[in-house]
Structure 1
Amino acid sequence: MQLNLERPDYQYFLRGADGGSALVNERRMTASFIVAPEALVENWPVRDASALAPTDLEPLLALAPELLLLGTGARQVFPPAAALATCLQRGVGIEVMSNAAAARTYTVLAGEGRRVVAGFLFP
């Protein structure tokens, strides 16, 4: 059997994430960041989902997603209702999940060619 490494046809792909780090392409990320198939925003200054302000979502929304994924660390932590409402008012879906689940979901959606943006939080 022949095995071939197949690279995605987009620039930034996630190899995995957990509560302490994520692997984007070949780079280990340990600070909060934003990723889209064609963009990487490092050092996103958000650390805690429970304190997420609507303005904290602006860098993600600026990338014009149809769906926003929010990885909140080792476990799922919902942000305040005002932050969620910001996405809904703009017609952008938002899903909140652990970093590991967000990485898996991002990989599937990006592979389908969807306009997905993911924010990953690390303390």
Structure 2
Amino acid sequence: MKLHPDPRSSDNIVTAYTHDSIAVGGRVHTRSLLLLPDRLDAQWGPDAFADLSLLHLQQLAAFSCDVVLLGTGRRQRFPAAELMRPLVEAGRGFEIMDTAAACRTYNLLVGEGRLPLAALILEKDAA
């Protein structure tokens, strides 16, 4: 799916998404990543939703942001409440959605001048 960014937005916007890749500013990434308007971490993350751990959520809680968008892969799935505890304890707002929706929501929030953190899971073997 080709996404059309607001040209006034940061360079770190999602320009395209497929089930196998996410393009940020035209650069293609093929594994899970963290995305903020001014930062990209292409080394973050689980290789599948089932690999999401407490450590991953603790890493998300450490960022200063308006909201955490957790993209759970090809379909929306909800992590166990215990995994979400670091975000709750840090007072971080969060939304859980499939990765395509997280990409769209991230771009919308960046276009509004907000500071979202998108944690985007790409699953190679998901059906």
TM-score w.r.t. the length of structure 1 is: 0.85
Letter matched to residue 25 of structure 1: G
How many equivalent pairs are there? Answer: 119
Q: Is contact 2:20-2:122 (8 Å) kept?
A: yes
Match in the other structure for 1:99: 99
C-alpha deviation, 1:23, in angstroms: 1.1
Aligned CA-pair RMSD: 1.8
Q: Report the Cα distance in structure 2 between the residues aligned to 1:50 and 1:78, rounded to whole angstroms.
A: 11
> Which has the higher mean CA deviation after the structures are superposed, 81-90 or 100-109?
81-90
Q: Is contact 1:32-1:122 (8 Å) kept?
A: yes
Match in the other structure for 1:71: 71
State percent identity of aligned pairs: 32
Q: Is contact 1:18-1:99 (8 Å) kept?
A: no
Instruction: Please identify the structure whose Cα radius of gyration is greater.
Output: 1
The aligned runs of 1:47-86 (5 Å cut-off) are: 47-86=47-86
Q: Report the Cα distance in structure 2 between the residues aligned to 1:112 and 1:119, rounded to whole angstroms.
A: 19
C-alpha deviation, 1:9, in angstroms: 3.6
Task: Note the residue ranges of structure 1 that are not aligned, 5 or more in a row.
Answer: none
Q: Is contact 1:84-1:94 (8 Å) kept?
A: no
Q: Is contact 1:73-1:122 (8 Å) kept?
A: yes
Q: Report the Cα distance in structure 2 between the residues aligned to 1:19 and 1:6, rounded to whole angstroms.
A: 23
TM-score w.r.t. the length of structure 2 is: 0.83
Q: Is contact 2:61-2:86 (8 Å) kept?
A: no
Match in the other structure for 2:21: 21
